[in-house]
């Protein structure tokens, strides 16, 4: 979490607080509020949500990498904006809602490339992605209990699903940071690499995903995401539905033909 709510703000200009770059079929969305350690202000949340929606609507984008700066993936909520939330009724929308609704609505696979701190909402942002790659300097924490509050971006739920009750409770109730190595062993991240290699490793992973059938990737991810939310019988029913949906696609015919002819498949997302 960060208290420097003046650093990197866009109030005086229309400058975006995210940078977008395409590397082939992989779109990189970088949080760009480094002086505030990429703390999630209202403006940054709006910019990031818009960038995610744009990426999800672009059929040429087959994987999304979300990253931060050298020192911080994201330090969490902008503390300067908490007093506004204290005036809200319990069921009123909060600033995080727009961001996590955008993440959930985008079916394109999302990869978090984490260097430095991923605290509070930053940790929740990494959890909301499908895969996380961490640098050796990465630290993950949900320190909200130290401020007398609790995670408001899904942390209490996604941590338990990702880590199991015991490890999640340790993070949630102490608020203490976890190292990248611990996060990998606990299942919070898929891989730990040198800091200088984090973004390239995430992009390389995105390229491997992008080389597969785009419809198959999206429907596979769709079924897998429901594993945390539905009963096993419901998840299996969704998996079967998606399986038969894919069988009738041109991509499936192309994939089978390419395998039989020992050549790379030319998937078109149809």
Q: Would you say 196 and 140 are in contact if contact means Cβ atoms under 8 Å apart?
A: no
Task: Please state, in angstroms and rounded to a whole number, the distance separating the CA atoms of residues 237 and 232.
Answer: 9
**Catalytic amino acids?**
77, 121, 124, 144
Superfamily for domain range 18-210: 2-enoyl-CoA Hydratase; Chain A, domain 1 (3.90.226.10)
Per-residue pLDDT tens digits for 47-83 = 999 999 999 999 999 999 999 998 999 998 876 666 5
Q: Higher confidence at residue 245 or residue 117?
A: 117
pLDDT band at 246 (very low <50, low <70, confident <90, very high): confident
Walk across the sheet containing 72-74 and list its strands: 72-74, 117-119, 139-141, 178-179
Per-residue pLDDT tens digits for 169-193 = 999 999 999 999 999 999 999 999 9
In a 13 Å sphere around the CA of 12, the CA atoms on its Cβ side amount to 4
pLDDT reported for residue 213: 93
Per-residue pLDDT tens digits for 97-106 = 889 899 999 9
Number of residues in the chain: 270
Task: Please state, in angstroms and rounded to a whole number, the distance separating the CA atoms of residues 102 and 99.
Answer: 5
pLDDT reported for residue 15: 77
Rg (CA), the chain: 19
pLDDT reported for residue 6: 41
Lookup result for tokens 């202000």: 41
Per cent of the chain over pLDDT 70 is 89
Per-residue pLDDT tens digits for 137-175 = 999 999 999 988 888 888 999 999 999 999 999 999 999
In a 13 Å sphere around the CA of 73, the CA atoms on its Cβ side amount to 34
Q: Where are the domains positioned within the chain?
A: 18-210, 213-261
Q: Higher confidence at residue 128 or residue 239?
A: 128
Domain 213-261 is of which CATH architecture? Orthogonal Bundle (1.10)
pLDDT band at 90 (very low <50, low <70, confident <90, very high): low
Asked if residue 10 has pLDDT above 90, the reply is: no
Q: Retrieve residue 33's tokens.
A: 């509020």
């Amino acid at each position: 979490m960060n208290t420097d709510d003046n650093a990197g703000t866009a109030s005086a200009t229309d400058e975006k607080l995210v940078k977008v770059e395409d590397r082939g079929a992989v779109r990189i969305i970088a949080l760009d509020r480094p002086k505030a350690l990429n703390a999630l202000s209202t403006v940054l949340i709006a910019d990031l949500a818009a960038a995610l929606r744009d990426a999800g609507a672009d059929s040429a984008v087959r994987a999304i990498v979300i990253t931060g700066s050298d020192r911080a993936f994201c330090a969490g909520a902008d503390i300067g904006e908490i007093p506004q939330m204290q005036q809200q009724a319990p069921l009123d929308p909060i600033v995080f809602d727009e961001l996590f609704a955008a993440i959930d609505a985008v079916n394109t696979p999302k990869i978090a490339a984490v260097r430095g701190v991923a605290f509070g909402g930053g940790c929740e942002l990494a959890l909301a992605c499908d895969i996380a790659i961490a640098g050796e300097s990465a630290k993950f924490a949900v320190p909200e209990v130290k401020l007398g509050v609790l995670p408001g971006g899904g942390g209490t739920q996604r941590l338990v699903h990702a880590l199991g009750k015991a490890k999640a409770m340790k993070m949630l109730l102490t608020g203490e940071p976890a190292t990248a190595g611990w996060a990998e062993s606990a299942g919070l991240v898929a891989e730990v690499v040198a800091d200088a290699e984090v973004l390239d490793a995430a992009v390389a992973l995105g390229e491997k995903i992008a080389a597969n059938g785009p419809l198959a990737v999206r429907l596979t991810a769709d079924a897998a995401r429901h594993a945390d939310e539905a009963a096993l019988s419901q998840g299996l029913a969704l998996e079967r539905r998606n399986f038969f949906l894919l069988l009738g696609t041109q991509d499936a015919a192309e994939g089978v033909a390419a395998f039989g002819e020992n050549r790379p498949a030319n998937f078109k997302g149809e």
